[in-house]
Amino acid sequence: MMAMEKIIIAADHGGYLLKEAIKTHLMQMGFSVTDEGTDSDQAVDYPDFGGKAAGAISAGLFPRGILICGSGVGMSIVANRFPGVRAALCLDEETARLSRMHNDANILVLAGRKTDSETAFRIVRTWLTTPFVITIQK
């Protein structure tokens, strides 16, 4: 039997609801999901949660992860401070595809207050299934 691919996910209060929806979606896709919180819509500091997940990616414990805050900006800033992390804030499928093909992004950042769950599912599926292609981009 093939091992389930591991993925790590985290959010602050601005991304909590979308995180829950995406977690279910990922499990339905067959992923083994590690959820670093937060666990409610009570206000928290996004670096506490983004840092845990980005640190785990940086340490090689997970091949990829998903972070969500209200705008996606805070989580992007936090995640990209960690060595080996390439976090991409994606508001649409095209950016998600390019962040994999051209940038080999290993963290997808989503905006819980800008992106509805159906759009987010499409972004996640595109991001997870697009390979990195090594070429000189024009």
Active site residues: 69, 102
Nearer to ligand RB5, 91 or 128 (CB): 91
What is the Cα 111 distance to its own chain's centre? Answer: 10
The region of 17-25, 31-39, 55-63, 71-79 touching ligand RB5 under the rule CB under 6 A is 71-79
Q: In residues, how long is the chain?
A: 138
Widest Cα–Cα separation across the chain: 45
Residue 71 sits in the site that holds ligand RB5 (CB under 6 A): yes
Residue 50 sits in the site that holds ligand RB5 (CB under 6 A): no
Residue 49 sits in the site that holds ligand RB5 (CB under 6 A): no
Instruction: Write out the residues near ligand RB5 by the rule CB under 6 A.
Output: 12, 14, 46, 69-71, 73-74
